[in-house]
Structure 1
């Protein structure tokens, strides 16, 4: 698994839509860009420091020509990715620290701060276009619904809201009920008809926009700790049901691939050890430059990958999907997404789709796509693991005790304003990267 050291904790990561370049926002306030090739080799492209305060959020516009950065400095910075210069600074864009930024359409972007205020911006204007104050705790994530021109926001106050950017009213068109838990992340599935929301206690809440935004229609238990990041898969990823599969980043340090409706764990994509996952992003550059070529694009020096030339004689590289995941550590982990699913596909005959053991009950219930039903995220290879422990009993007699002691010594870092996780919601279990713990009461209904 390729790793890119950056020298400080990473708060956000985004990929350029066309070039083989990835951008990171750091605790030190730096924005660092790295070029990469199809083998995962990397090279530093540029480093800027718009502010001495931490950079919490990044977003690229549609063509990747401008990078927007926000953070503790309360300002909105615009970086030209071609010239590598800061071309616009909106000081005091918010009254408090800004937590998230999202480019929506070419002439509109959104920002959300620690007090729950959401602002819409037109890059051509100095002041914000509209301001929303219906949330009272920090904005955790944004999701853009293209066909409806709607912005979905999730918040630490336990609710999500839907903003119609075409409306001139400073209030959302929908605001959910209190979910009694912090909503930390959101991604779309089923062609944009359903949405998965990660929560503080490890539940995946499913919202169906056809049923309204008042409350979730499904709750999927299983993650042993908070789900801080969720990410949809690119639609053209081969050999995968991209409409129902997502990546989840949890505080236990694992990036998992999970299929929703029917619900099953497909495996662990990346392991960050004891470091909580902060953000997940997927990218696949199609163009790049070799080291010995002059750079004419936005910092896209590609490191030794094989290139092809298109009709304009521009170097074009084989498309390959990478997962960039970051935790509370100083490295960006790059994972070959196609390679992960390809490795799991080899066991399909014995274990079902993508190498996961699926029971008959799971297959039947998954096809119904039913609402108001809780679904289990199955343990991967649970039987094989139990048998293996019997064979290793003489050698590793004390391994479980050592793992338990090591786990208990690691402090759990929390985000700002987070509530303590209720102990009754979590089932203690030995940490295993290929399993997700589900509440025992769930099995009573199967």
Structure 2
């Protein structure tokens, strides 16, 4: 109940717009989430992985609390990367103990394991097609796997990178893979022919994430120094364009359309960015100063989910971004870098703060009442 002294908040149009946005309510976990992935076709089925080795599946409905469908602890070590399979039948998880786990998205049961996938801890995973996937580790080794051919990789590259493989992007034809590295370079491979194509020039800054955009005509790469790098197709040795403006590292990218992406940064803000012409559209999400670890879009591009070091997964509406048109003759507006877009559900002031409290959902709600969630998500060897 609001008193007369609070009436100024009720007149806040941004806050009122924020309350009208229908998006899934945020999920509160008991340990930091490290990765998340949406099902490639079904309506808003979300898989999450956390630092304690747990994988959970949720059904996310706009305007409602997310329903936990399954929970399994795949390892006593932290999860490192997670993705749905190409057909969505399985969730693939890499853990710090160098194991790849397969969890059925229908039953939530662990169905398969591949042990000792890398010599060092794996860092990232990317699905190429229904049979092929690529993984990268902390020492710069890239591997391509054919799930029909047992437990050995069909391609291994150990000499292209001098640091960790931070992300792997796949083109729309499921043929080329682009691996970016902490040593400041990007390597391009032909996954079907199992061969290396080209190594890019060194950018002298960690390359952190990559996406293929513009209908398979551009590769977009986020850097630790802030600029977004754009590579022309078949010209992957050096970027053709640089888009500065982020105040810190661009840690992750989610593709909303062929022209618009959402970037997660170390300052906790998720920004909508239009590419070619390059413009900031506004802020669509906020983790209040904590680095954004992952941002992922639904298969229809209506929502994105994000996670940070706050044990939360937050949802933001981005459907309105798909129809944005940018005139190349208009001057860029600097304020757009920090201007919050109420249509996405990120508001201003005290109203937005109090409304966020109602969005929290504790995963322990779905855990057997005979055991606390802290016990079940413990890192101790006695946890089952």
In the superposition, the TM-score normalised over structure 1's length comes to 0.66
> Which runs of structure 2 are paired with 1:17-96 in the superposition (5 Å)?
17-19=40-42, 20-96=44-120
Q: Taking structure 1 as reference, are residues 252 and 83 closer, same or farther at Cα in structure 2, changes over 3 Å only?
A: same
Structure 1 residue 168: Cα displacement? 4.1
Q: Which residue of 2 aligns with 1:348?
A: none
Return the alpha-carbon distance in structure 2 between the equivalents of residues 336 and 381 of structure 1: 18
Q: Secondary structure at the match of 2:135?
A: strand
1:135 to 161, 165, 169: 161
Which segments of 5 or more consecutive residues in structure 2 lack a partner in the other structure? 1-22, 340-384
3-state SS in 2 of match to 1:379: helix
Of 325, 331, 340, the match for 2:312: 331
Q: How does 1:40-439 map to 2 (within 5 A)?
A: 40-124=64-148, 125-133=150-158, 134-147=160-173, 149-169=175-195, 172-210=196-234, 212-233=235-256, 242-284=257-299, 321-338=302-319, 341=321, 360=329, 362=331, 378-380=334-336
Tell me if structure 2 keeps the 8 A contact 1:222–1:377.
no
Please give the root-mean-square deviation of Cα atoms over the aligned residues, in Å. Answer: 2.2
- How far is 1:341 from its partner? 3.7
Q: Residue 280 of structure 2 contacts residue 337 of structure 2 at CA under 8 Å; is this kept in 1? A: no
**What is the CA–CA distance in structure 2 between the aligned matches of 1:113 and 1:27, rounded to whole Å?**
17
Change over 3 Å in CA distance of 1:198–1:381 after alignment to 2: closer
Distance 1:381 1:248, change over 3 A: closer
Q: State whether residues 263 and 377 of structure 1, in contact with CA within 8 Å, keep that contact through their aligned partners in structure 2.
A: no
Please say which structure displays the higher CA radius of gyration: 1
**Distance in 2 of aligned mates of 1:148 and 1:42:** 32
Query: Matched residue of 1:137: which SS?
Result: coil
Paired residue secondary structure (2:187): strand
Do 1:186 and 1:231's aligned partners in 2 also have CA atoms closer than 8 Å?
no
State the Cα distance separating 1:39 from its structure 2 match. Answer: 2.1
Superposition misfits of 4+ residues, deviation over 6 angstroms = none
Query: Deviations 1:232-253 (Å, cap 9, x if unpaired)?
Result: 11xxxxxxxx322111100000
Aligned equivalents of 1:126 and 1:4: distance in 2?
35
Residue pair 1:153, 1:161 contacting (<8 A) in 2 also: yes
CA distance in 2, matches of 1:361, 1:18: 37
